C-alpha cells in the first residue's frame, strides 16, 4: 500500500478532500494517507503555514495530494504553493484542459495540456527598489538546464501518451536573452523527437489563437509566468478551474493539487465542487501506475456528468451538492 501525504487545505479543502478520498477508496485504490497541515489553518495552529512535520512527511514519502491553500495575509510568508514547489524542485507544472460532457464552455473537443516551468522566470521573487518608492525592478532567471528539463518532459509525455504536437510559447522577439534561450533549447530538443510536430508561437499570438481555435493545440510548453496565465486561460475554455486538475512533478517528488481557491464563502455548506481535485487525483493514480483504477473513475465521472448532472454542484449547473455528487460517482463505480 503506497503512502501519500494528504493536505486537505483551507476553506472547502476538507470537504472536497473527503469526497475524493471516498471515491478513490470505492474504486479500490490502495493508498495509505498521511494527513498533514499547511496553509492558513496550519498557521493559526502552529504559527507556520508549512510546519516542519509536513515538510518531513513530504521528504519521506515524496508524493502529495493537496487541496486549496490560503497563504496567511500580512504574515510575511510567500505563497505556500510556490514554496512547496520550489522546496522539492517540482519543476513541471502540468495542467490538462479537456472538454467534458454537459459542462458549459465556449468550445467542444478541446484537449490540451500545458507544461509550465515551475521554478524560474519572474516567480523566483528577485525584486528590489532602485529608487525607493519610485523605481522597482524584478529579475527573471531562465537557465539552459531548467529549460531543457521542462521541454524534454513535455516531449517525453507526448511520446508516452501518443500526442502528436508540442507548441513552445515564448516572447523571444522582445525578451531575446531569457525566452530566446528557452526557444533555442526547445528547437534543439525537438530534433530528438522527429515523430512529434514542433511549433513555436509568441505568447500574445498564442493567447489569441487559443480563443479562436483551441482545438489546434495538443501539448504546450512555456516559461513560468506565461504558463501561469495560459493554463488558466485553457481552463476557462473548458469550464473553469473547478473542472481541471494539476500536477507538479520533479525528478524525485510529485504534488497533485486543485489550483482553484479555497472559497471560504461556501466552506462547510456542502456546495463545493470536487471535480478539480478528483482530476488531480487521477493524475496521481497515473503517476502511481494505477491506470486501471484511473480509467474506471474517469468513466464513472463521465457517466454522472452525461446522465445525472442534476446531482452535481450548482457551479456547473447541477441541483445537487458535494455529497450527492460523491455518492453518484461511487454508485457509478459499481457498474
98 is catalytic: no
pLDDT for res 160: 95
Q: Which residues contact 173 (CB under 8 A, 6 or more apart)?
A: 202
pLDDT for res 92: 97
Tens of pLDDT along the chain (335 residues)?
Answer: 899 999 999 999 999 999 999 999 999 999 999 999 999 999 988 888 999 999 999 999 999 999 999 887 655 566 788 888 889 999 999 999 999 999 999 899 999 999 999 999 888 778 888 887 789 988 899 999 999 999 999 999 999 999 999 999 999 999 999 999 999 999 999 999 999 999 999 999 999 999 999 999 999 999 999 999 999 999 999 999 999 999 999 999 999 999 999 999 999 999 999 999 999 999 999 999 999 999 999 999 999 999 999 999 999 999 999 999 999 999 999 87
pLDDT for res 77: 65
d(CA 78, CA 76): 7
> Which residues are registered as beta bridge partners of 250?
none
Handedness of CA 312, 314, 318, 320 (dihedral sign): positive
265 is catalytic: no
d(CA 17, CA 112): 26
d(CA 325, CA 317): 12
91 is catalytic: no
pLDDT for res 231: 98
3-state secondary structure 11-45: CCHHHHHHHHHHHHHHHCCCEEEEEECCCHHHHHH
Place of cell 476557462: 236
Residue 30 burial by Cβ neighbours in a 10 Å radius (0-12, 13-18, 19+): exposed
Which sequence spans correspond to the domains of the chain?
A: 1-98+239-335, 105-111+119-226
Q: Which residues contact 243 (CB under 8 A, 6 or more apart)?
A: 100, 103, 235, 273, 275, 276, 279, 316
- Alpha carbon separation from 220 to 24, 94, 150, 153, 223 (Å, rounded): 29, 10, 11, 11, 10
d(CA 146, CA 226): 15
200 is catalytic: no
* pTM for this model (two decimals): 0.95
175: left (phi over 0), alpha (psi -120 to 50) or beta: beta
Place of cell 507544472: 93
User: Which backbone phi and psi does 316 adopt, to 5 degrees?
Assistant: -115, 20
Please pick, among 43, 91, 123, 157, the residue that the annotation labels catalytic: 123
Please pick, among 43, 66, 157, 171, the residue that the annotation labels catalytic: 171
Residue 146: which of 190, 113, 179 has the closest Cα? Answer: 179
The kind and range of the H/E element at 155 are helix 144-160
Does this chain's domain 1-98+239-335 share its CATH topology with 105-111+119-226?
A: no
- Alpha carbon separation from 319 to 20, 200, 235, 261, 310 (Å, rounded): 20, 43, 23, 22, 5
d(CA 230, CA 201): 13
pLDDT for res 75: 57
The CATH code for residues 105-111+119-226 is 3.40.50
pLDDT for res 132: 79
pLDDT for res 61: 97
Please pick, among 204, 251, 265, 307, the residue that the annotation labels catalytic: 204
pLDDT for res 148: 98
CATH class of 1-98+239-335: alpha beta
Amino acid at each position: 500500500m503506497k503512502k501519500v501525504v494528504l493536505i486537505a487545505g483551507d476553506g472547502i479543502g476538507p470537504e472536497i478532500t473527503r469526497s475524493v478520498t471516498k471515491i478513490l477508496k470505492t474504486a479500490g485504490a490502495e493508498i495509505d494517507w498521511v494527513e498533514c497541515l499547511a496553509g492558513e489553518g496550519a498557521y493559526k495552529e502552529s504559527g507556520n503555514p508549512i510546519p516542519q512535520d509536513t515538510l518531513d512527511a513530504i521528504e519521506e514519502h515524496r508524493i502529495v495530494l493537496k487541496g486549496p491553500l490560503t497563504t496567511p495575509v500580512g504574515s510575511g510568508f510567500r505563497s505556500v504553493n510556490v514554496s512547496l514547489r520550489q522546496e522539492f524542485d517540482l519543476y513541471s507544472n502540468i495542467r490538462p484542459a479537456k472538454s467534458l460532457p454537459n459542462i458549459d464552455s465556449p468550445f467542444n473537443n478541446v484537449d490540451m495540456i500545458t507544461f509550465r516551468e515551475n521554478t524560474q522566470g519572474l516567480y523566483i521573487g528577485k525584486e528590489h527598489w532602485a529608487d525607493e518608492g519610485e523605481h522597482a525592478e524584478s529579475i527573471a532567471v531562465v537557465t539552459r538546464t531548467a529549460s531543457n528539463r521542462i521541454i524534454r518532459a513535455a516531449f517525453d509525455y507526448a511520446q508516452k501518451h501518443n500526442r502528436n504536437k508540442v507548441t513552445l510559447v515564448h516572447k523571444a522577439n522582445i525578451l531575446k536573452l531569457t525566452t530566446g534561450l528557452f526557444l533555442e533549447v526547445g528547437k534543439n530538443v525537438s530534433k530528438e523527437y522527429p515523430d512529434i510536430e514542433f511549433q513555436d508561437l509568441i505568447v500574445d499570438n498564442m493567447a489569441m489563437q487559443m480563443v479562436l481555435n483551441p482545438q489546434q493545440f495538443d501539448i504546450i510548453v512555456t516559461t513560468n509566468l506565461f504558463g501561469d496565465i495560459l493554463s488558466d486561460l485553457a481552463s476557462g475554455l473548458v469550464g473553469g478551474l473547478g473542472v481541471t486538475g494539476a500536477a507538479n512533478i520533479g525528478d524525485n517528488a510529485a504534488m497533485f493539487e486543485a489550483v482553484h481557491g479555497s472559497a471560504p464563502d461556501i466552506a462547510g455548506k456542502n456546495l463545493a465542487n470536487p471535480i478539480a481535485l478528483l482530476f488531480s487525483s487521477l493524475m496521481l493514480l497515473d503517476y502511481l501506475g494505477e491506470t486501471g483504477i484511473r480509467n474506471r473513475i474517469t468513466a464513472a465521472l463521465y457517466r454522472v456528468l452525461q446522465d445525472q448532472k442534476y446531482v452535481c454542484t450548482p457551479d456547473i449547473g447541477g441541483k445537487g451538492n458535494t455529497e450527492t455528487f460523491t455518492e453518484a460517482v461511487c454508485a457509478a463505480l459499481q457498474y
